[in-house]
């Protein structure tokens, strides 16, 4: 795991009870994890401003969220996180609090990270129907096949449908492009 020098310096400063008292530290750690998992229930960072300077709270919150996000992204468990923090010369009760909180919320952090992104949905099923169009409202003699295609997609365990209509030529072109994409993926997998 790679954290910036400023984040590591901020985590080191968090170990000092004169900067942030123990109660505020514990509340801030819990708030950071809950805000990452979307469970803050209407609370915001301003609730901490009365006990400590605003810049210190904002910096501490940023450092804590960076630590938790990177740990979840690297799929660390609490023991790996503890080892990493000790290798960075961070020890004490506050490090134990960080590791214990991470251990409790690890799965929900990883799940939340998995739901972020702009990945395309996976096609899991295809349904199609063939209609023969004899004439339309604009043309008296059409006489061509019309394919109605429905793709079933899945993204973040959510099923959605993509419906479209195409001609025989357009369907053949789609199938050709899909076969071409499969060939390219097979080439990449053999490298």
Residue 40 Rama label (left phi>0; alpha psi -120 to 50; beta): alpha
pTM equals 0.62
In angstroms, rounded to a whole number, what is the distance separating the alpha carbons of residues 126 and 173?
16
Mean pLDDT of 31-36: 88
Chain segment 82-110, per-residue pLDDT in tens:
898 888 888 888 889 889 999 999 999 88
Element at 132 (helix H, strand E): strand 122-133
Mean pLDDT of 33-41: 80
What confidence score (pLDDT) does residue 16 get?
84
Assess contact for 34 and 65: CB atoms under 8 A: no
């Amino acid at each position: 795991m790679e954290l910036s020098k400023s984040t590591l310096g901020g985590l080191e400063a968090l170990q000092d009870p004169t900067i942030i008292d123990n109660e505020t530290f514990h509340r801030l750690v819990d708030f950071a994890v809950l805000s990452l998992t979307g469970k803050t229930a209407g609370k915001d960072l301003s609730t901490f401003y009365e006990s400590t300077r605003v810049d210190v709270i904002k910096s501490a919150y940023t450092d804590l969220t960076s630590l938790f996000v990177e740990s979840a992204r690297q799929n660390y468990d609490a023991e790996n996180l503890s080892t990493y923090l000790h290798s960075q010369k961070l020890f004490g009760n506050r490090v134990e609090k960080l590791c214990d909180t991470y251990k409790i919320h690890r799965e929900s952090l990883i799940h939340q990270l998995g739901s972020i992104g702009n990945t395309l949905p996976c096609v899991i099923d295809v349904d199609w129907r063939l209609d023969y169009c004899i004439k339309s409202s604009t043309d008296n003699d059409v006489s061509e096949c019309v394919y109605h295609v429905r793709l079933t997609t899945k993204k973040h365990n959510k099923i959605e449908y993509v419906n479209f209509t195409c001609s025989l030529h357009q369907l053949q072109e789609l199938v050709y492009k899909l076969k071409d994409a499969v060939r390219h993926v097979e080439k990449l997998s053999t490298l």
